[in-house]
A = this chain, B = another copy of it.
Amino acid sequence: MQVLEGDAAWAALTRSFNDIPVPDAVLARIQDTFGEALSPEAVVRRILDDVRRRGDEALLDWTERLDGVRPAALAVSPAEIEAAQVDAPLHEAIRLAIWRVRDFYEQQPAHGFLNHSAQGALGQLVRPLGRVGVYVPGGLAPLISTLIHTAVPAQVAGVPDIVVATPPARDGTVHPAILVAARELGITQLVRAGGAQAIAALAYGTASVPAVDKIAGPGNLFVVIAKRLVYGHTGIESLPGPTETLVVADDSADPQHVAADLLAQAEHNGAEPVLVSTSRELLVAVQAEVGGQLEALPEPNRSWARDSVLSRMKVVLAADLNEALDLANLYAPEHLCLLTRDPWSLLGQVTRAGGVFVGEYSMEALGDYVAGPSHVMPTGGTARFMSPVNVRDFQNIISVVGLNASVLRQIGPAGATLARAEGLEAHARAIESRL
Protein backbone atom coordinates (compact mmCIF):
# COMPACT_ATOMS: atom_id res chain seq x y z
CA MET A 1 0.00 0.00 0.00
CA GLN A 2 1.33 3.36 -1.04
CA VAL A 3 1.21 6.00 1.70
CA LEU A 4 -0.16 9.31 0.44
CA GLU A 5 0.91 12.65 1.91
CA GLY A 6 0.30 16.34 1.32
CA ASP A 7 -1.06 17.32 -2.11
CA ALA A 8 -1.29 13.70 -3.20
CA ALA A 9 -3.51 12.93 -0.19
CA TRP A 10 -5.74 15.94 -0.88
CA ALA A 11 -6.07 14.93 -4.52
CA ALA A 12 -6.84 11.31 -3.63
CA LEU A 13 -9.60 12.28 -1.18
CA THR A 14 -11.22 14.89 -3.46
CA ARG A 15 -14.28 13.32 -5.02
CA SER A 16 -15.93 13.99 -8.30
CA PHE A 17 -19.68 14.11 -7.90
CA ASN A 18 -20.33 14.15 -11.59
CA ASP A 19 -20.65 10.46 -12.22
CA ILE A 20 -21.72 7.37 -10.39
CA PRO A 21 -18.88 4.92 -11.15
CA VAL A 22 -20.03 1.85 -13.05
CA PRO A 23 -18.01 -1.33 -12.40
CA ASP A 24 -17.06 -3.38 -15.45
CA ALA A 25 -18.89 -6.38 -13.98
CA VAL A 26 -22.13 -4.39 -14.11
CA LEU A 27 -21.61 -3.50 -17.76
CA ALA A 28 -20.84 -7.14 -18.54
CA ARG A 29 -24.01 -8.26 -16.78
CA ILE A 30 -26.07 -5.73 -18.76
CA GLN A 31 -24.56 -7.03 -22.00
CA ASP A 32 -25.44 -10.61 -20.96
CA THR A 33 -28.98 -9.78 -19.90
CA PHE A 34 -29.97 -7.39 -22.66
CA GLY A 35 -27.73 -8.48 -25.51
CA GLU A 36 -26.58 -4.90 -26.04
CA ALA A 37 -24.26 -2.38 -24.39
CA LEU A 38 -26.84 -0.24 -22.60
CA SER A 39 -25.91 2.25 -19.91
CA PRO A 40 -27.26 1.39 -16.45
CA GLU A 41 -29.48 4.48 -16.72
CA ALA A 42 -30.95 3.26 -19.99
CA VAL A 43 -31.68 -0.10 -18.36
CA VAL A 44 -33.35 1.57 -15.41
CA ARG A 45 -35.46 3.83 -17.63
CA ARG A 46 -36.64 0.81 -19.55
CA ILE A 47 -37.63 -0.96 -16.34
CA LEU A 48 -39.34 2.11 -14.83
CA ASP A 49 -41.36 2.74 -17.98
CA ASP A 50 -42.42 -0.87 -18.22
CA VAL A 51 -43.56 -1.19 -14.59
CA ARG A 52 -45.38 2.11 -14.86
CA ARG A 53 -47.22 0.90 -17.93
CA ARG A 54 -47.83 -2.76 -17.18
CA GLY A 55 -47.81 -2.84 -13.37
CA ASP A 56 -47.67 -6.23 -11.66
CA GLU A 57 -47.05 -8.17 -14.87
CA ALA A 58 -43.94 -6.11 -15.59
CA LEU A 59 -42.84 -6.40 -11.98
CA LEU A 60 -43.09 -10.18 -12.21
CA ASP A 61 -41.39 -10.30 -15.61
CA TRP A 62 -38.39 -8.28 -14.44
CA THR A 63 -38.15 -10.23 -11.20
CA GLU A 64 -38.06 -13.43 -13.22
CA ARG A 65 -35.53 -12.06 -15.68
CA LEU A 66 -33.17 -10.40 -13.18
CA ASP A 67 -33.68 -12.35 -9.96
CA GLY A 68 -34.37 -15.72 -11.55
CA VAL A 69 -37.73 -16.39 -9.90
CA ARG A 70 -41.37 -15.61 -10.69
CA PRO A 71 -43.12 -15.53 -7.30
CA ALA A 72 -46.64 -16.99 -7.13
CA ALA A 73 -47.70 -13.89 -5.17
CA LEU A 74 -45.96 -10.54 -4.94
CA ALA A 75 -47.29 -9.78 -1.47
CA VAL A 76 -46.04 -11.86 1.44
CA SER A 77 -49.07 -13.33 3.23
CA PRO A 78 -49.85 -12.74 6.92
CA ALA A 79 -49.49 -16.49 7.48
CA GLU A 80 -45.92 -16.46 6.13
CA ILE A 81 -45.00 -13.54 8.39
CA GLU A 82 -46.60 -15.28 11.36
CA ALA A 83 -44.87 -18.60 10.74
CA ALA A 84 -41.32 -17.27 10.33
CA GLN A 85 -38.80 -18.38 12.93
CA VAL A 86 -35.14 -17.81 13.70
CA ASP A 87 -33.02 -19.21 16.51
CA ALA A 88 -33.37 -17.61 19.93
CA PRO A 89 -30.10 -15.58 20.04
CA LEU A 90 -30.84 -14.00 16.66
CA HIS A 91 -34.44 -13.29 17.68
CA GLU A 92 -33.22 -11.57 20.84
CA ALA A 93 -30.62 -9.61 18.85
CA ILE A 94 -33.36 -8.41 16.47
CA ARG A 95 -35.43 -7.25 19.43
CA LEU A 96 -32.46 -5.46 20.97
CA ALA A 97 -31.63 -3.69 17.69
CA ILE A 98 -35.24 -2.52 17.29
CA TRP A 99 -35.33 -1.30 20.86
CA ARG A 100 -32.05 0.60 20.62
CA VAL A 101 -32.82 2.28 17.29
CA ARG A 102 -36.27 3.27 18.53
CA ASP A 103 -34.86 4.62 21.78
CA PHE A 104 -32.33 6.70 19.84
CA TYR A 105 -34.85 8.27 17.44
CA GLU A 106 -37.29 9.03 20.22
CA GLN A 107 -34.62 11.45 21.47
CA GLN A 108 -34.45 13.39 18.19
CA PRO A 109 -35.97 16.88 18.51
CA ALA A 110 -38.57 16.88 15.76
CA HIS A 111 -41.42 19.04 16.94
CA GLY A 112 -43.00 22.05 15.32
CA PHE A 113 -43.92 25.30 17.00
CA LEU A 114 -46.80 27.74 17.14
CA ASN A 115 -45.85 30.99 18.79
CA HIS A 116 -48.68 33.30 19.82
CA SER A 117 -48.04 37.01 20.17
CA ALA A 118 -49.78 40.35 19.83
CA GLN A 119 -49.75 39.74 16.05
CA GLY A 120 -51.64 36.45 16.17
CA ALA A 121 -49.75 33.22 15.66
CA LEU A 122 -47.00 31.96 13.39
CA GLY A 123 -45.47 28.53 13.34
CA GLN A 124 -44.79 25.19 11.72
CA LEU A 125 -46.93 22.08 11.97
CA VAL A 126 -44.98 18.84 11.79
CA ARG A 127 -46.88 15.96 10.16
CA PRO A 128 -45.81 12.39 9.46
CA LEU A 129 -45.86 11.24 5.86
CA GLY A 130 -48.78 9.04 4.96
CA ARG A 131 -47.08 6.06 3.35
CA VAL A 132 -43.40 5.20 3.11
CA GLY A 133 -41.60 2.54 1.09
CA VAL A 134 -38.59 0.83 2.62
CA TYR A 135 -36.18 -0.88 0.28
CA VAL A 136 -34.22 -3.78 1.75
CA PRO A 137 -31.51 -4.99 -0.62
CA GLY A 138 -31.10 -8.69 -1.30
CA GLY A 139 -27.86 -10.40 -2.03
CA LEU A 140 -26.28 -13.31 -0.30
CA ALA A 141 -27.64 -12.64 3.19
CA PRO A 142 -30.80 -11.16 4.74
CA LEU A 143 -30.18 -7.48 5.55
CA ILE A 144 -32.26 -7.58 8.71
CA SER A 145 -30.55 -4.50 10.08
CA THR A 146 -31.39 -2.41 7.01
CA LEU A 147 -35.08 -3.06 7.54
CA ILE A 148 -34.82 -2.09 11.21
CA HIS A 149 -32.62 0.95 10.62
CA THR A 150 -34.98 2.40 7.99
CA ALA A 151 -38.43 1.45 9.25
CA VAL A 152 -37.94 2.44 12.88
CA PRO A 153 -37.21 6.16 12.25
CA ALA A 154 -40.31 6.23 10.03
CA GLN A 155 -42.37 4.64 12.79
CA VAL A 156 -41.02 7.09 15.36
CA ALA A 157 -42.00 9.92 13.00
CA GLY A 158 -45.55 8.53 13.10
CA VAL A 159 -45.85 7.15 9.57
CA PRO A 160 -48.95 4.93 9.68
CA ASP A 161 -48.29 2.88 6.57
CA ILE A 162 -44.95 1.23 5.69
CA VAL A 163 -44.42 -0.97 2.62
CA VAL A 164 -41.25 -3.07 2.46
CA ALA A 165 -39.82 -4.27 -0.85
CA THR A 166 -37.05 -6.86 -0.95
CA PRO A 167 -35.89 -9.27 -3.64
CA PRO A 168 -37.04 -12.87 -3.14
CA ALA A 169 -34.70 -15.81 -2.93
CA ARG A 170 -34.53 -18.21 -5.91
CA ASP A 171 -37.36 -20.25 -4.38
CA GLY A 172 -39.57 -17.17 -4.10
CA THR A 173 -39.36 -16.87 -0.34
CA VAL A 174 -38.30 -13.94 1.78
CA HIS A 175 -35.71 -14.90 4.42
CA PRO A 176 -37.31 -15.79 7.78
CA ALA A 177 -35.05 -13.32 9.63
CA ILE A 178 -36.53 -10.46 7.56
CA LEU A 179 -40.03 -11.74 8.29
CA VAL A 180 -39.33 -12.02 12.01
CA ALA A 181 -37.97 -8.46 12.05
CA ALA A 182 -41.06 -7.25 10.16
CA ARG A 183 -43.32 -9.05 12.65
CA GLU A 184 -41.45 -7.51 15.60
CA LEU A 185 -41.86 -4.10 13.93
CA GLY A 186 -45.58 -4.62 13.29
CA ILE A 187 -45.06 -4.32 9.54
CA THR A 188 -47.57 -6.29 7.50
CA GLN A 189 -46.88 -5.17 3.92
CA LEU A 190 -43.92 -6.88 2.26
CA VAL A 191 -43.43 -7.13 -1.49
CA ARG A 192 -41.26 -9.80 -3.10
CA ALA A 193 -39.42 -7.53 -5.55
CA GLY A 194 -36.08 -5.80 -5.70
CA GLY A 195 -33.95 -3.63 -7.94
CA ALA A 196 -35.20 -0.83 -10.16
CA GLN A 197 -38.47 -2.71 -10.68
CA ALA A 198 -39.26 -2.51 -6.96
CA ILE A 199 -38.48 1.23 -6.89
CA ALA A 200 -40.78 1.68 -9.88
CA ALA A 201 -43.60 -0.22 -8.17
CA LEU A 202 -43.24 1.84 -4.98
CA ALA A 203 -43.14 5.11 -6.93
CA TYR A 204 -45.97 4.51 -9.41
CA GLY A 205 -47.99 1.83 -7.68
CA THR A 206 -49.30 -1.40 -9.17
CA ALA A 207 -52.31 -3.61 -8.41
CA SER A 208 -50.30 -5.33 -5.64
CA VAL A 209 -48.08 -2.47 -4.50
CA PRO A 210 -49.52 0.83 -3.26
CA ALA A 211 -47.71 3.97 -4.46
CA VAL A 212 -45.83 5.54 -1.55
CA ASP A 213 -45.05 9.16 -0.68
CA LYS A 214 -41.35 8.54 -0.10
CA ILE A 215 -38.86 5.72 -0.67
CA ALA A 216 -36.05 5.13 1.83
CA GLY A 217 -33.20 2.71 2.03
CA PRO A 218 -29.91 1.76 0.38
CA GLY A 219 -29.41 -0.23 -2.77
CA ASN A 220 -27.12 -1.21 -5.60
CA LEU A 221 -26.31 0.99 -8.58
CA PHE A 222 -29.63 0.26 -10.31
CA VAL A 223 -31.63 1.07 -7.18
CA VAL A 224 -29.76 4.35 -6.69
CA ILE A 225 -30.30 5.36 -10.33
CA ALA A 226 -33.98 4.40 -10.09
CA LYS A 227 -34.39 6.48 -6.95
CA ARG A 228 -32.80 9.46 -8.70
CA LEU A 229 -35.12 9.08 -11.67
CA VAL A 230 -38.36 8.78 -9.69
CA TYR A 231 -37.44 11.74 -7.46
CA GLY A 232 -40.17 14.32 -7.89
CA HIS A 233 -42.91 11.78 -8.54
CA THR A 234 -42.03 10.45 -5.13
CA GLY A 235 -39.88 11.65 -2.26
CA ILE A 236 -36.42 10.14 -1.78
CA GLU A 237 -34.61 10.30 1.54
CA SER A 238 -31.08 10.07 0.15
CA LEU A 239 -29.05 7.97 -2.28
CA PRO A 240 -27.02 5.56 -0.15
CA GLY A 241 -24.79 3.36 -2.29
CA PRO A 242 -21.63 1.34 -1.63
CA THR A 243 -20.49 1.70 1.94
CA GLU A 244 -17.27 3.42 3.02
CA THR A 245 -15.28 4.18 6.16
CA LEU A 246 -12.55 6.66 6.93
CA VAL A 247 -10.55 5.97 10.08
CA VAL A 248 -8.57 8.77 11.72
CA ALA A 249 -5.96 7.29 14.08
CA ASP A 250 -3.01 8.68 15.97
CA ASP A 251 -0.10 6.88 17.60
CA SER A 252 -2.28 5.90 20.57
CA ALA A 253 -4.51 3.65 18.46
CA ASP A 254 -4.27 -0.12 18.72
CA PRO A 255 -3.22 -1.41 15.26
CA GLN A 256 -5.28 -4.57 15.81
CA HIS A 257 -8.44 -2.52 16.29
CA VAL A 258 -7.72 -0.19 13.40
CA ALA A 259 -7.13 -3.19 11.15
CA ALA A 260 -10.32 -4.88 12.36
CA ASP A 261 -12.36 -1.76 11.60
CA LEU A 262 -10.85 -1.39 8.14
CA LEU A 263 -11.52 -5.05 7.35
CA ALA A 264 -15.11 -4.77 8.58
CA GLN A 265 -15.48 -2.22 5.83
CA ALA A 266 -13.32 -4.02 3.30
CA GLU A 267 -15.38 -7.23 3.43
CA HIS A 268 -18.21 -5.45 1.61
CA ASN A 269 -17.81 -6.25 -2.07
CA GLY A 270 -16.41 -3.12 -3.74
CA ALA A 271 -15.78 -1.19 -0.50
CA GLU A 272 -13.25 1.64 -0.20
CA PRO A 273 -11.62 1.82 3.25
CA VAL A 274 -9.51 4.89 4.03
CA LEU A 275 -7.00 5.26 6.85
CA VAL A 276 -5.66 8.68 7.80
CA SER A 277 -3.03 8.74 10.52
CA THR A 278 -0.58 11.15 12.04
CA SER A 279 1.77 8.26 12.82
CA ARG A 280 3.89 6.54 10.22
CA GLU A 281 4.60 3.76 12.73
CA LEU A 282 0.89 3.10 13.10
CA LEU A 283 0.43 2.91 9.33
CA VAL A 284 3.16 0.29 9.13
CA ALA A 285 1.76 -1.70 12.04
CA VAL A 286 -1.80 -1.57 10.66
CA GLN A 287 -0.68 -2.82 7.29
CA ALA A 288 0.91 -5.86 8.91
CA GLU A 289 -2.23 -6.46 11.00
CA VAL A 290 -4.54 -6.13 8.00
CA GLY A 291 -2.53 -8.78 6.20
CA GLY A 292 -2.76 -11.21 9.09
CA GLN A 293 -6.44 -10.70 9.90
CA LEU A 294 -7.32 -10.88 6.23
CA GLU A 295 -5.93 -14.35 5.86
CA ALA A 296 -7.96 -15.52 8.86
CA LEU A 297 -11.30 -14.54 7.28
CA PRO A 298 -13.55 -17.18 5.69
CA GLU A 299 -14.51 -17.02 2.03
CA PRO A 300 -16.06 -15.14 0.26
CA ASN A 301 -15.34 -12.35 2.76
CA ARG A 302 -11.60 -12.88 2.43
CA SER A 303 -11.59 -12.39 -1.34
CA TRP A 304 -13.78 -9.31 -1.19
CA ALA A 305 -11.74 -7.82 1.64
CA ARG A 306 -8.51 -8.55 -0.17
CA ASP A 307 -9.82 -6.92 -3.33
CA SER A 308 -10.94 -3.84 -1.39
CA VAL A 309 -7.61 -3.55 0.38
CA LEU A 310 -5.47 -4.10 -2.69
CA SER A 311 -7.55 -2.19 -5.25
CA ARG A 312 -9.19 0.66 -3.41
CA MET A 313 -7.89 1.17 0.13
CA LYS A 314 -6.26 4.55 0.65
CA VAL A 315 -3.62 5.14 3.31
CA VAL A 316 -2.76 8.73 4.20
CA LEU A 317 -0.10 10.20 6.48
CA ALA A 318 -1.40 13.53 7.82
CA ALA A 319 0.85 16.27 9.19
CA ASP A 320 -1.30 16.59 12.32
CA LEU A 321 -4.85 15.93 13.53
CA ASN A 322 -6.05 19.21 12.06
CA GLU A 323 -5.02 18.10 8.60
CA ALA A 324 -6.51 14.67 9.29
CA LEU A 325 -9.89 16.24 10.10
CA ASP A 326 -9.69 18.59 7.12
CA LEU A 327 -9.10 15.58 4.88
CA ALA A 328 -12.00 13.75 6.49
CA ASN A 329 -14.32 16.70 5.91
CA LEU A 330 -13.12 16.97 2.31
CA TYR A 331 -13.86 13.29 1.71
CA ALA A 332 -17.20 13.48 3.58
CA PRO A 333 -17.23 9.76 4.44
CA GLU A 334 -20.28 7.72 5.31
CA HIS A 335 -18.51 6.55 8.48
CA LEU A 336 -15.83 8.53 10.27
CA CYS A 337 -14.06 6.61 13.04
CA LEU A 338 -11.96 8.57 15.51
CA LEU A 339 -9.35 6.34 17.13
CA THR A 340 -7.17 8.93 18.82
CA ARG A 341 -5.98 9.76 22.33
CA ASP A 342 -8.76 12.29 22.93
CA PRO A 343 -11.39 11.61 20.25
CA TRP A 344 -14.13 13.80 21.80
CA SER A 345 -11.94 16.87 21.38
CA LEU A 346 -12.11 16.40 17.59
CA LEU A 347 -15.92 16.32 17.36
CA GLY A 348 -16.26 20.08 16.98
CA GLN A 349 -14.15 19.96 13.81
CA VAL A 350 -16.33 17.38 12.06
CA THR A 351 -18.48 19.08 9.45
CA ARG A 352 -19.08 16.43 6.76
CA ALA A 353 -19.85 12.80 7.55
CA GLY A 354 -22.76 10.41 7.85
CA GLY A 355 -21.86 9.23 11.33
CA VAL A 356 -18.95 9.76 13.70
CA PHE A 357 -17.75 6.80 15.76
CA VAL A 358 -15.91 8.18 18.73
CA GLY A 359 -13.21 6.09 20.33
CA GLU A 360 -12.25 2.51 20.85
CA TYR A 361 -15.63 1.10 21.94
CA SER A 362 -17.69 2.68 19.18
CA MET A 363 -16.59 0.55 16.26
CA GLU A 364 -18.59 1.15 13.11
CA ALA A 365 -19.62 -2.50 13.01
CA LEU A 366 -21.56 -1.97 16.21
CA GLY A 367 -23.25 1.06 14.62
CA ASP A 368 -24.44 -1.19 11.81
CA TYR A 369 -26.56 -3.13 14.29
CA VAL A 370 -27.23 -2.08 17.86
CA ALA A 371 -25.60 1.25 18.71
CA GLY A 372 -28.78 3.25 18.02
CA PRO A 373 -28.46 5.66 15.08
CA SER A 374 -29.53 4.31 11.70
CA HIS A 375 -26.78 2.71 9.68
CA VAL A 376 -28.37 4.10 6.51
CA MET A 377 -26.01 7.01 5.93
CA PRO A 378 -25.01 9.14 2.94
CA THR A 379 -22.22 7.67 0.78
CA GLY A 380 -20.12 8.77 -2.17
CA GLY A 381 -19.52 12.21 -0.72
CA THR A 382 -23.24 13.04 -0.58
CA ALA A 383 -22.77 13.80 3.13
CA ARG A 384 -22.03 17.29 1.73
CA PHE A 385 -25.78 17.69 1.40
CA MET A 386 -27.54 14.62 2.78
CA SER A 387 -28.01 13.14 6.24
CA PRO A 388 -28.38 9.69 7.75
CA VAL A 389 -31.95 8.40 7.75
CA ASN A 390 -33.69 10.19 10.60
CA VAL A 391 -37.08 11.25 11.86
CA ARG A 392 -37.10 14.45 9.73
CA ASP A 393 -37.04 12.33 6.58
CA PHE A 394 -40.50 11.05 7.41
CA GLN A 395 -42.14 14.31 8.39
CA ASN A 396 -43.42 17.30 6.47
CA ILE A 397 -43.42 20.81 7.75
CA ILE A 398 -46.51 22.95 7.10
CA SER A 399 -46.09 26.69 7.66
CA VAL A 400 -48.85 28.40 9.64
CA VAL A 401 -49.77 32.07 9.18
CA GLY A 402 -52.49 33.31 11.52
CA LEU A 403 -52.22 37.09 11.80
CA ASN A 404 -54.71 39.62 13.16
CA ALA A 405 -56.04 42.96 11.94
CA SER A 406 -53.61 44.95 14.01
CA VAL A 407 -50.42 43.52 12.55
CA LEU A 408 -51.98 43.56 9.09
CA ARG A 409 -52.31 47.34 9.39
CA GLN A 410 -48.61 47.55 10.28
CA ILE A 411 -47.12 45.30 7.64
CA GLY A 412 -49.84 45.16 4.96
CA PRO A 413 -48.72 48.34 3.12
CA ALA A 414 -45.15 47.02 2.79
CA GLY A 415 -46.58 43.77 1.42
CA ALA A 416 -48.61 45.70 -1.16
CA THR A 417 -45.50 47.75 -2.12
CA LEU A 418 -43.51 44.59 -2.74
CA ALA A 419 -46.37 42.99 -4.67
CA ARG A 420 -46.56 46.00 -7.02
CA ALA A 421 -42.77 46.01 -7.45
CA GLU A 422 -43.15 42.42 -8.64
CA GLY A 423 -46.01 43.35 -10.98
CA LEU A 424 -48.63 41.46 -8.97
CA GLU A 425 -51.50 43.95 -8.73
CA ALA A 426 -54.13 41.44 -7.56
CA HIS A 427 -51.80 40.46 -4.70
CA ALA A 428 -51.61 44.08 -3.60
CA ARG A 429 -55.40 44.41 -3.83
CA ALA A 430 -56.00 41.19 -1.86
CA ILE A 431 -53.97 42.72 0.97
CA GLU A 432 -55.61 46.14 0.66
CA SER A 433 -59.09 44.62 0.60
CA ARG A 434 -58.63 43.94 4.34
CA LEU A 435 -56.91 47.20 5.28
Contact = CB atoms under 8 A, between A and B. Distances in A.
Interface of A: 17-18, 20, 52, 86, 89-90, 92-94, 96-97, 100, 104, 107-109, 111-113, 115, 120-125, 127, 129-130, 140-145, 177, 204, 211, 213-214, 224, 228, 231-236, 239, 256-257, 260-261, 263-264, 266-268, 293, 297-298, 301, 305, 343-344, 347, 350-374, 377, 382-388, 390, 392, 396-405, 407-408, 411-412, 414-415, 417-419, 421-431, 433-434
B366 A431 contact: yes
A90 B421 contact: yes
A97 B411 CA distance: 9
Given A94-B418, A104-B122, A362-B402, 8 more contacts: A17-B211, A256-B433, A357-B402, A361-B405, A368-B418, A371-B415, A384-B396, A392-B397
A302 to B, nearest CB: 9
Contacts of A419: 365, 368-369
Contacts of A352: 127, 130, 396, 398
Contacts of A400: 347, 355-356, 358, 373
Given A93-B418, A411-B96, A122 B382 contact: no
Contact of A353 (B115, B398, B422, B431): B398
B383 A396 contact: yes
28 contacts: A108-B113, A109-B111, A122-B372, A130-B384, A141-B423, A144-B421, A213-B384, A231-B236, A232-B382, A235-B386, A256-B433, A257-B434, A260-B426, A260-B430, A356-B401, A361-B403, A361-B407, A361-B408, A362-B401, A365-B426, A367-B399, A367-B401, A372-B401, A383-B396, A383-B398, A385-B396, A390-B397, A390-B399
A389 to B, nearest CB: 9
A397 B388 contact: yes
B424 A264 contact: yes
A384 B129 contact: yes
Contacts of A130: 351-352, 384
Given A125-B356, A425-B297, A426-B266, A403 B366 contact: yes
Contact of A427 (B93, B257, B368, B388): B368
Nearest to A384: B213
A433 B414 CA distance: 66
Contact of A239 (B232, B370, B408): B232
Contacts of A422: 141-145
Question: For the complex formed by this chain, how many copies does it contain in all?
Answer: 2
A319 B130 CA distance: 24
Given A297-B426, A358-B400, A401-B367, A97 B264 contact: no
A397 to B, nearest CB: 4
Given A390-B397, A400-B347, A408 B366 contact: yes
B401 A214 contact: no
**Top-4 shortest CB links A-B:** A235-B385, A373-B399, A141-B423, A358-B402
Most buried by B among A305, A405, A421: A421
Contacts of A234: 17, 385
B124 A108 contact: yes
A102 to B, nearest CB: 13
A374 B235 CA distance: 21
Most buried by B among A113, A115, A239, A386: A386
A426 B268 CA distance: 9
Given A418-B370, A424-B267, A434 B397 contact: no
A110 to B, nearest CB: 8
Contacts of A374: 399
Contacts of A145: 418, 422
